[in-house]
Amino acid sequence: MKFTAKEIAKFLNGDVEGDPGAVVNSVAKIEEGHEGALSFLSNISYEKYIYTTGSSVVIVNRDFRPSSPVSATMIRVDNAYEAFASLLSIYEESKPRKKGIHTRAVIEKSAKIGKDVYIGPMAYIGENVVLGDRCSVYQNASIGDNCMIEENTAIYPSVTIYHECIIGKNCIIHAGSVIGSDGFGFAPQADANYKKIPQLGNVILEDNVEIGANVVVDRATMGSTIIRRGVKLDNLIQIGHNVEVGENTVMAGQTGIAGSTKIGKNCMFGGQVGITGHVKIADGTKAAAQAGINGNILKENLTVYGSPAFEYRKAQLSHIIFRKLPELKDKVDKLADDIEEIKNR
């Protein structure tokens, strides 16, 4: 597909600076730009590349003021990153999507299959499954009995969705993820063994949820593990049984949430954040990478850091003091020696 700078600017409500007839037919990072490519600049640390890029068109923020001549045509918008993301979404949607049911797919007779779906080879659709219109189930994916998957949801290769789970509209579940496996529930016995507690609940993913690759969301012991609408989970994340994740919360890779924790909406968690079980996390909480949260966070829009995690600014000051501990110890030891000397006098 080919677009001119003028056409792109019209769609983005932007202003062209340069050749409005400049044509693009691909996208590229600004440092790897080539003729016919569209790039963007939002992070000022990449500014140096705009003066050397081979891209034909670059989307920039309205307040960007180049310090040298720019050969590429620029389109000025309010937010270059958001604008570029919008264009990528349109480009992705314009690609032809697969339709039809592969002859090697296995679909139980009681399943209800919607219109314009795609079911790939070796995919399995269980008893009484409801698969909505325009869903895609790629090769080797497995959908257990009595699941309901609403329209426009994509389930990528080797995903496993256990029985009785509910997946909303416009969801994406990437390769290798497991939805609805048993929660980690074992009762200690008098003989030092552990008795498995049956996990009788399910998992609910609401609309517009995206699950990264190799993520596990455990089913509830009773009731539901719930991932609310708009949640985005990175790769390699563990969500324990009976957890509830609030709307539009995002988590980076290797985050782990223990069972029965309730997370508010619009939260952000960096990589390798760990949250203990049975705690409440307020709306708007931000946790820096590797934060360890072992208690309730009840104040909204708080940023936490460290393990155990506490308020970011205090944690940073504490870290500065921690790094000075060897020097402080030497001073304390010297003061102790001085005091002992004075006593001896």
Task: Encode pLDDT of 134-161 as tens digits.
Answer: 999 999 999 999 999 999 999 999 999 9
CA distances from 93 to 25, 131, 138 (A): 15, 21, 18
- Tracing tokens 């497995």 back to the chain, one arrives at 142
**Torsion sign across C-alpha atoms 4, 82, 233, 251:** positive
308: left (phi over 0), alpha (psi -120 to 50) or beta: beta
Which are the catalytic amino acids?
Answer: 241
What are the residue boundaries of the structural domains of the chain, listed by start? 3-94, 100-315, 316-345
Scan for tokens 């090769």, then name that residue.
Answer: 139
User: How far is it, in rounded angstroms, from Cα 111 to Cα 127?
Assistant: 6
Q: Cα–Cα distance between 186 and 202 in angstroms, integer?
A: 18
- Across the beta sheet with 154-155, the strand order is 100-101, 118-119, 136-137, 154-155, 172-173, 210-211, 232-233, 250-251, 268-269, 286-287, 303-305, 310-311
Sign of CA dihedral 161, 162, 163, 167: negative
Task: Out of 3.40.1390.10, 3.30.499.10, 3.30.2020.30, 3.40.1030.10, select the CATH number for domain 3-94.
Answer: 3.40.1390.10
Superfamily of domain 100-315 in the CATH hierarchy: Hexapeptide repeat proteins (2.160.10.10)
What pLDDT, on a 0 to 100 scale, did the predictor assign at position 310? Answer: 80
pLDDT tens for each residue of 85-103: 998 887 777 778 889 999 9
| Element (DSSP H or E) covering residue 335 | helix 325-344
Which segments of the chain have a pLDDT < 70? Answer: none
Q: What is the DSSP letter of 197?
A: P
